[in-house]
Amino acid sequence: MKNVCLVFALWVASFQVSKAQDCSQGFYAMKEGTKFSMTNYNDKGKITSTSSSVVKSIKADGAKFEATIEASAKDGKDKPILDGKNFTVTCDNGTIKLDISSMMMADFANQMKNMEVSISGSGIEIPSNLSEGMSLSDGTTEMKLGTNGVSFMTMKFDIKNRKVEAKESKTTPAGTFDCYKITYDMDMKTIMKRQMKVVQWMAPGVGLVRSESFNQKGELEGYSELTKFEKP
């Protein structure tokens, strides 16, 4: 369960995005052909997985758009664990919303090959203009596991206390970026309850640059960094 929770936190952190009021400029480089790669590490700095994504298409309708992003991932031994999975990101009136369920399904299903997995819940939103001290909306996702149509376990992820803490510079293998530091708490409820804290740095025109996850004792459990970023 620890690994499932951490994978979820890293995926959510990797794809939280924000746009300007007209949905055409702002935090995330939402342009067809944009490529970005993330590398995930454990608390000791060992690579646990890598992911690569590309913006495949944009459907625009006035002040709204829907983007299709294709993601692939490999484990720490360079073995494919996710191959060309598409998910959607939408923008309406300057607010980006991520379809968590479409993004998570393949990754969890790969870990639980003999199980039936269904996911529901709200997307993760960020307003168009961030500022230090701003509070952001919460999010909830529920995942049910079962076999032969019978559910035997439900896991619920509550993301709350999201806040823009500061503006900071962050350097990764992809470069140095001026970022907004965002923090939030995540509760995982199943047979037992588990809490995590996530810290992320997001750069205008780029998106996520780095994220870190911590346990209840404040100990680092893992982190992710932007290792490649290319605009067409």
Place of tokens 């006035």: 62
Please determine, for residue 99, whether its predicted confidence score (pLDDT) is greater than 70: no
Q: Determine the average pLDDT of the residues in 169-183.
A: 94
* 215 burial type by CB count under 10 A (0-12 exposed, 13-18 middle, 19+ buried): middle
Contacts 24+ apart (CB under 8 A), 142-151: 143/104, 143/108, 143/117, 143/118, 143/119, 144/117, 144/118, 144/119, 145/112, 145/115, 145/116, 145/117, 146/115, 146/116, 147/114, 147/115, 147/116, 148/116, 149/116
Q: What is the DSSP string of 40-74?
A: EEETTS-EEEEEEEEEEEEEEETTEEEEEEEEEEE
Please determine, for residue 102, whether its predicted confidence score (pLDDT) is greater than 60: no
Domain 2-230: CATH class, spelled out: mainly beta
Please determine, for residue 220, whether its predicted confidence score (pLDDT) is greater than 80: yes
- Domain residue limits, the chain: 2-230
Euclidean distance between CA atoms 208 and 201, whole angstroms: 6
Euclidean distance between CA atoms 28 and 177, whole angstroms: 13
**pLDDT confidence band for 133 (50 / 70 / 90):** very high
Instruction: Name the more confident of 14 and 167.
Output: 167
At 27 the pLDDT is 59
